[in-house]
Amino acid sequence: MLQVSKIISGGHGLAPALQKRAATVELDWDVRQKSRFDCTDSQGRHLGVFLPRGTVVRGGDVLVAQDGSLIKVLAAAQPVLVITHCSEHGAPFDLTRAAYHLGNRHVAIELKPDHLKIEPDHVLADMLRKMHLIVKETQTAFEPEGGAYGSHDAHGHAQAHDHDHGHDHDHGEHDGHNHH
């Protein structure tokens, strides 16, 4: 078994050619939210993944094996409920209300501008339909929000987002402010 204990968030900093050559592993959300799991990559290698506790693996992340090989993570298609507003009986704001109610129930939600995705749950589906929303089951990748207190940033997303958003962070004496 090939051990994996490192992850590169979104493949950040890796040359596209390296990512293109990397083996892949397709994992559903249930596996990707665990920090320890076994899987088999596209080259047939059995991987033992041991990441820091609380690490969440996202589609597009790159795992680094003990031998230095790279394995790109793909979010596997899985059953999900896609929730959209009903243009006949509702309004786009109904999605905001739905996200609020699902969040109060600590449900993992993927937020999109025109729809929400959750894991299948007939009780929640009935609640959403009563709110005049359209709920359809389908098979697709599921990438729920990390949450304000979640572990979305446990493996480097914080660095990627906080330090790479297009401007210099040296807010010293040259920023036009007088702090004396």
Q: Are 74 and 37 in contact (CB under 8 A)?
A: no
Q: What is the pLDDT along the chain (180 residues), one digit of tens a residue?
A: 999 999 999 999 999 999 999 999 999 999 999 999 999 999 999 999 999 999 999 999 999 999 999 999 999 999 999 999 998 988 889 999 999 999 999 999 999 999 999 999 999 999 999 999 999 999 999 999 986 544 444 333 333 333 333 444 444 444 443 434
For position 127, what pLDDT does the model report?
A: 96
Q: What structural domains does the chain harbor?
A: 2-75 (2.60.260.20), 78-140 (3.30.70.790)
Angle at CA of residue 127, ends 126 and 129, nearest 5°: 65
**pLDDT confidence of residue 60:** 97
pLDDT of residue 162: 35
Please compute Rg for the chain using Cα positions.
20
d(CA 124, CA 141): 20
pLDDT for position 149: 45
Q: Output the pLDDT for position 91.
A: 85
How high is the pLDDT of residue 52? 95
pTM above 0.85, yes or no: no
